[in-house]
């Protein structure tokens, strides 16, 4: 018998107690050493390359292309040719069948893609397996059904495709963001040039194999990997009719400036600094779970993360106590371990940004709490962090950290909660915790944010429109409203 068996389950666990490793097998993923650019249904040899790594181990996973302006030009030309040579005139019912195929193949190859997502991006396998992949497949399935029903979505408006869509996606949900972008674009009859994030190109490149299996006509989807220079070339290309960007507010503003006067359509899904507002009449344990899910989900690399916790003063102490105890149970470490709650920070650059902002929080006078946890020696890691005694003016209460860092502020009245919650240039999302129905609806009205989660947080669905107010961007992704950015209207 082991020590633990003898002492029984009521005894305190030994200090060095830990879960046994439960690694998900990497065998399902067969990576090539080198990937080109996916243009016109073929692999184009890139003129420049870079190495993409695993942020959990810093090992090189593959060499990928750094697409130049000339490469982007070829991709746009391929997309234009595909648009004009059949795709845009294909009946919606036929376009739909390709999207249904893609959805099904994503389901069939879900484990392979989930493992690769965790490998390349650092997110826990249980998230890529249970959230990213099912939602990505669901997005294709949802928009497949719209492809031949657009006239019902926009009655009397004669919807038409826009043309070639240039799409730039972030590294926090690589394949899911790809699905959010590509599924509605294709359903509406557009063709696509998509640039994955610099640090997470691999699931997008594996997705090209999904397209091969789906027999999607060449050039309908083109994938160009690279850093910001590739994105800039795509934004500046005259042959692109529409830009869809998800990323930082800073880059979003630069894109909006760059497109001024061009007449190109634009949608922006940018940063956030969401308030998660907890009233004293909430279900406290549920709220604590929601707070943890709101900020530590995906290492806090979530634009809609509940990064500002607004707690009603009367429950401040019990809530922060519970939150600290809950934090001690979070398991930080190997993304491919099925027990991991918080994985690796996506890149060295992002880790540095988190450290810098956390340091500013200390310097400005906030109190920091981090649960004891052993972080692996290699790779990029940051312990779940809670700041208390935070003033609204502190950088950690104003700026998007995009990491597992929560800032706690307090309020006394609902009006004060609203005032504080809305006191930011952002307006992407917000959370409300209270058992009082009328207060939920009142808060939902008052909060200037595109998504309001009441007594829940970080829920996503293809039928549910997502997008921001104010400097969190414009346009919606998901739902019927997510079609509009990819259409022009003759009526």
Partner 1 sequence: MSERIPIKKTYKLFLGGVFPRSESGRTYEAEGQNVARASRKDVRDAVRAARAAQPGWAAATAYNRGQVLYRLAEMVEARMPEFAELCTGRDEVERSIDRIVWYAGWADKLPQVLGGSNPVAGPYFNFTVPEPTGVVAVLAPDDPPLLALVSRVLPALVGGNAVVAVASEQRPLAAVELAEAIATSDVPGGVVNLLTGFRAELAPVLASHMDVNALDLAGADGLAPELERLAADNVKRVVHGSPDSQSPWEITSFLELKTVWHPIGR
Active site residues: 269, 303
Return the number of the residue (348 or 444) whose C-beta is nearest partner 1: 444
Q: Is residue 459 exposed (0-12), middle (13-18) or buried (19+ Cβ within 10 Å)? A: exposed
Nearer to partner 1, 174 or 479 (CB): 479
Q: List Cβ<8 Å contacts ≥24 apart for 42-48.
A: 42/218, 44/71, 44/74, 46/71, 46/225, 47/71
CB of 449 to partner 1, least distance (A): 7
* 285 or 317: CB nearest partner 1: 285
Query: Across the strands, what pairs with 88?
Result: none
- Minimum distance of partner 1 from residue 138's CB (angstroms): 7
The token pair that represents 380 in the structure block = 């990029």
The whole-angstrom separation of Cα 275 and Cα 446 is 12
Minimum CB distance to partner 1, residue 265 (Å):
11
Which residue lies nearer to partner 1 by CB, 384 or 479? Answer: 479
CA atoms within 13 A on the CB side of 471: 18
Q: Which two tokens stand for residue 320?
A: 């922060």
Q: Tell me whether residue 180 or residue 466 sits nearer to partner 1 (CB atom).
A: 466
Comparing CB distances to partner 1, the nearer of 276 and 410 is: 276
Cβ proximity of 167 and 194 under 8 Å: yes
Least separation, in Å, of the C-beta of 359 and partner 1? 28
CA end-to-end distance (rounded Å), the chain = 77
Phi first, then psi, for residue 409 (nearest 5°) are -125, 165
- Could you give the CA distance from residue 482 to residue 444 in angstroms, rounded to a whole number? 21
Nearer to partner 1, 376 or 491 (CB): 491
Q: Which residue has the tokens 């969190």?
A: 472
CA 436 to chain centre: 31
Residue placing its CB nearer to partner 1 in the complex, 4 or 283:
283
266, β-bridge pairs: 243
The angle formed by the CA atoms of residues 464, 131 and 452, to the nearest 5 degrees, is 35
Please, what is the minimum distance in Å from the beta carbon of residue 472 to partner 1?
8
Q: Which of 14, 78, 329 is nearest to 220 (CA)?
A: 78
Spatial separation of the C-alpha atoms in residues 403 and 409, rounded to whole Å: 18
**CB contact at 8 A, 153 and 231:** no
* Nearest distance from C-beta of residue 103 to partner 1, angstroms: 13
Phi, psi of 456 (to 5 degrees): -165, 175
Distance CA 45, CA 198 (A): 18
Q: From the CB of 392, what's the least distance to partner 1, in Å? A: 18
Distance CA 311, CA 412 (A): 8
Q: How far is the CB of 185 from partner 1 (least distance, A)?
A: 19
Q: CA-CA distance, 181 to 165, in Å (whole number)?
A: 9
Binding residues for partner 1, rule: CB under 8 A, are 138, 157, 249, 252-254, 256-257, 259-261, 268, 270, 425, 440, 444, 449-456, 459, 461, 463-467, 469-474, 476, 479, 481, 489
Residue carrying structure tokens 């630069």 = 254
């Amino acid at each position: 018998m082991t020590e633990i068996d003898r002492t029984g389950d009521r005894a305190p666990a030994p200090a060095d107690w830990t879960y046994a490793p439960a690694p998900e097998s990497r065998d399902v993923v067969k990576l090539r050493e080198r990937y080109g650019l996916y243009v016109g249904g073929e692999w184009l040899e890139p003129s420049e390359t870079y190495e993409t790594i695993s942020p959990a181990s810093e090992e090189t996973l593959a060499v990928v292309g750094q697409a130049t302006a000339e490469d982007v030009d070829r991709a746009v030309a391929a997309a234009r040719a595909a648009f004009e040579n059949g795709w845009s005139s294909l009946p919606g019912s036929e376009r739909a069948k390709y999207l249904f195929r893609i959805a099904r193949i994503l389901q069939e190859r879900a484990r392979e893609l989930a493992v690769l997502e965790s490998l390349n991006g650092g997110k826990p396998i249980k998230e890529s397996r249970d959230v990213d992949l099912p939602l990505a497949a669901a997005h294709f399935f949802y928009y497949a059904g719209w492809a031949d029903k657009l006239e019902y979505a926009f009655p009397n408006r004669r919807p038409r495709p826009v043309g070639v869509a240039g799409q730039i996606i972030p590294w926090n949900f690589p394949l899911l963001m790809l699905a959010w972008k590509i599924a509605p674009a294709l359903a509406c009859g557009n063709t696509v040039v998509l640039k994955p994030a610099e640090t997470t190109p691999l699931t997008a490149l594996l997705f090209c194999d999904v397209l091969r299996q789906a027999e999607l006509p060449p050039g309908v989807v083109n994938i160009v990997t690279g850093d910001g220079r590739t994105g800039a070339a795509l934004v500046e290309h005259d042959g692109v009719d529409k830009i869809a960007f998800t990323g930082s507010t800073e880059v979003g503003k630069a894109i909006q400036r760059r497109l001024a006067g061009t007449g190109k359509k634009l949608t922006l899904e940018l940063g956030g600094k969401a308030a998660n507002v907890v009233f004293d009449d909430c279900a406290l344990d549920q709220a604590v779970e929601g707070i943890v899910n709101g900020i530590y989900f995906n290492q806090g690399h979530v634009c809609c993360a509940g990064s500002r916790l607004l707690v009603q003063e009367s429950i401040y102490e019990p809530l922060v106590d519970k939150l600290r105890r809950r934090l001690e149970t979070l398991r930080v470490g190997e993304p491919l371990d099925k027990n991991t709650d918080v994985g690796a920070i996506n890149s060295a650059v992002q880790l540095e940004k988190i450290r810098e902002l956390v340091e500013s929080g200390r310097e400005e006078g906030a109190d920091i709490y981090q649960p004891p946890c052993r972080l692996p020696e290699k790779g990029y890691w940051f312990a779940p962090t809670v700041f208390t005694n935070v003033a609204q003016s502190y950088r950690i209460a104003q700026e998007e950290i995009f990491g597992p860092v929560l800032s706690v502020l307090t309020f006394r009245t609902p009006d004060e909660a609203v005032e504080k919650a809305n006191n930011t240039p952002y307006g992407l999302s917000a959370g409300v915790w209270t058992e009082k129905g009328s207060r939920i609806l009142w808060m939902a009205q008052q909060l200037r944010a595109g998504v309001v989660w009441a007594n829940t947080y970080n829920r996503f669905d293809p039928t549910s429109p997502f997008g921001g107010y104010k400097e969190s961007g414009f346009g919606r992704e998901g739902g019927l409203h997510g079609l509009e950015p990819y259409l022009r209207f003759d009526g």
